[in-house]
Amino acid sequence: MRPCIGRPGVLVAAALVVSALVLVPACGGANSGGSSAAGSGSASNSTAVSAATETSRFPARLSAVMGRYSREGQQGLWRLTPSGYAHKEITGDYVAGAGRVGALLAYSHNGELCLWHPDKASPQDVSVIAVPSAGASSADVIALSPDERRLALVRYAVDTITDSRVDQAVVHGAYLIDLPSGQVERWSWLEEKTRASGMWGLVTALRWSDMADVLYVSLGPAGGSQGEVSFRYDPLSGEAQELKGMACVLDINPQGDVLGLARPASPEEFDYPAGGQYGTFPLALWRNGVRTLLPRDPSVGEPSFAWISDEGNIIVVQAGIWEGPSVTSGLEVLKLTSAGWQVHWVYGKEEPLYPVYGVGFEPGTNIFCFQADPRPTNRDEPVVGTHLYQMETDLRQVYEPPLALPFSAEDYVHVLAIAGRGQD
């Protein structure tokens, strides 16, 4: 699993036609955030284009959708709002992070830490924060807080993804940054932890709490890992609490619930589901200091990503779903009932949509957003995910029509985050 790192343009009005909201029952039956991303491609002036479509509907509770793209030799970041679409072209390798407000996206590029402000006109749309650099070939991990006011940055002396010396990778520097003031503070605890342990040199997950007062970080061997140990770090006191038995943090909600992967002490500790084996980590919830292993449908594989709702009663897992000898992309919904956590729904076996990327829950609701396209008749045909769909997890239904993203089937597009107004 890659590290979880964890959103100038002049906006042009988007002729988005608002249609009536329709619930379309799924074909399948019942069964049950800091985002980040790395890209390859210096930042140029951004361009705004119309996002007009006759079949699109901007979700009522959302104010912005943010992500990264690659098409026709160009790549970079983008933001779509009810008012329009803007993008920032970036040339060269970069990593990016998005929050849940939609006012900015952060990215690290050629040793510089940059903030892109889509609402500002070029060239004032990008601001640079002075942070010690490990060189243009360094590998960075970024976590932007949900309120987009704080940022955590971890820099490696070598590229932990492509460098042949990956086993020798060490943290060059770790920093906590207050974005409104530009104040940069050295994160000494993480630097010392990764160096002193001798085995936890790689940050596999880095996420802020909803109030940006706590950081969750997972560590693993520098040679590559999902993670082996996780901590809850308080920047104010400088103290850290180990989340015992949690290998990697996948998501956190405003209640402080931590969703992640559990680390077994031995092969006998866990009763692995069908198809599972020692070496794969089960999904688990850390709530009030207690770790609970979560049920899984036997047809669903190891989690790629997972999200928990703000209220803590719904979990969505992105994973491969077995259909006989083949695997398809799907979403598994877990629901908290009076009898505990149960598998509520497995979406992806017979449904007409092919989920490409899960995105997250709309604030304050059980509505989950995900990228998808109609399922191709040819299994070998690539699916990009040029639409953003909303899933009503309680009712096992998907809203129609979706939000059409301003990209084609020949492009690469990945939604990093959504910003919203919460429950109406």
Question: Is 70 exceeded by the pLDDT of residue 217?
Answer: yes
pLDDT at position 271: 52
Residue 29 has pLDDT above 80, yes or no: no
Token output for 98: 């998005």
pLDDT at 157 over 60: yes
Is pLDDT at 13 greater than 60 in this prediction?
Answer: no
Q: Is residue 113 part of a domain?
A: yes
For 378-391, what is the mean pLDDT? 89
Number of domains in the chain: 1
Query: What pLDDT sits at residue 31?
Result: 28
Whether 419 contacts 62, CB under 8 Å: yes
Residue 255 falls within a domain, yes or no?
Answer: yes
How would residue 65 be classed by pLDDT, with cut points 50, 70 and 90?
A: very high
Give residue 153's pLDDT: 95
Look at residue 16 and tell me whether its pLDDT is greater than 90: no
CATH classification at residue 310? 2.130.10.10
Q: What is the mean pLDDT of residues 28-48?
A: 43
Res 134: pLDDT? 60
The verdict on residue 307 lying in a domain is yes
* Exposure letters 274-309 (e unless 16+ CB within 10 A, then b): eebeeebbbbbbbbeeebebbebbebbbbbebbbbb
The answer to which of 104-118, 231-245, 266-280 has the lowest mean pLDDT is 266-280
Count Cβ neighbours within 10 Å for each residue of 3-27 and write b for 16 or more, e otherwise: bbbbbbbebbebebeeeeeeeeebe
Domain coverage including residue 185: 12-420
Residue 32, pLDDT above cutoff 90: no
Across residues 371-382, what is the average pLDDT?
85
pLDDT at residue 391 is higher than 60: yes
Is 7 a residue whose pLDDT tops 90?
no
Q: What is the pLDDT of residue 52?
A: 39
pLDDT above 50: residue 116: yes
What's the confidence (pLDDT) of residue 362?
96
**Is residue 5 assigned to a domain?**
no
Percent of the chain with pLDDT over 90: 61
Task: Tell whether 1 is covered by a domain.
Answer: no
Instruction: Confirm if 165 and 124 have CB atoms less than 8 A apart.
Output: no
pLDDT of residue 382: 82
Give dist(CA 368, CA 389) in Å, integer. 8
Residue 167 belongs to a domain: yes
Residue 198 lies in a domain: yes
Residue 30 has pLDDT above 90, yes or no: no
73 phi-psi bin (left φ>0, alpha ψ -120 to 50, beta other):
left
Which pLDDT belongs to residue 268?
Answer: 55
For position 122, what pLDDT does the model report?
79
The pLDDT of 112-116, averaged and rounded, is 94
| pLDDT at position 336 | 98
pLDDT digits over 47-62, tens only?
A: 343 433 345 789 999 9
The yes-or-no verdict on residue 279 having pLDDT over 60 is: no
pLDDT(139) > 70:
yes
- Split at pLDDT 50, 70, 90, the class of 135 is low
Domain-embedded: residue 6: no
Model-level pTM? 0.84
CB distance 356 to 347 below 8 Å: no
pLDDT of residue 349: 74
